[in-house]
Amino acid sequence: MKTNLTPEALRRRTVLQALLAIPAFALFRHETADVPVQRADGYVVVNGWVLKRSEVA
């Protein structure tokens, strides 16, 4: 199927589709996110996610 959407719009739509596909309460379960666990080596753990510090700055 052809589409006139830009690649950026496609990416956003993909994320949006994912978000819409789950019950809303799941989104707010971690509404008050844990305080990130700071690590010296550039990584943090937020709500269990192991992330680069730059991703949550």
Partner 1 sequence: MIFDNYEAFAAKGFAPKVIIIGSGPAGVTIARKLAAANIPVAIFEAGAADYTDESQDFYKGTTVGDPYFELDVTRLRQFGGCSNHWAGWCRVMDAVDFEPKAWVPDTGWPIRRSDIEPFLEEVHDILDLVPFRDDELVSDDIRWVQLIKSPAVRFSEKYRDEIAASQSIALVLDTYVTELQGDGKKVTGAKIWSAGKEQGVATADYYLPCTGGLENSRLLLWSNERSNGGVVPHAEALGKYWMEHPQFEGGNAIMENENQFEMDEVSEAFFSPTGEAMEREQILNFGIRFIKMPYHGVKWLTAELACVAPETAEWISSGLGGNLRCAAQLVVGWEQSPRADNFVALSATERDDLGIPRIELHWKKRELEHRTLLNGLRLFGETLADKGYGRVRIADWVVNNEPYPTDQELAGHHHMGGTRMGDDLAKSVVDLHQKVHGMDNLYVGGSSVFTTSGQCNPTTTIVALSCRLGDHLARRITQSAMLDKG
Amino acid at 35: V
Nearest distance from C-beta of residue 18 to partner 1, angstroms: 4
Say if residues 56 and 36 touch (Cβ distance below 8 Å): yes
Residue 1 sits in the site that holds partner 1 (CB under 8 A): no
Residue 5 sits in the site that holds partner 1 (CB under 8 A): no
Give the alpha-carbon dihedral of 34, 40, 43, 44, to 10 degrees. 0
Which x/- pattern over 28-47 shows residues binding partner 1 (rule: CB under 8 A)? Answer: --x--x-------x-x-xxx
Binding-site member from 1, 15, 35, 40 for partner 1 (CB under 8 A): 15
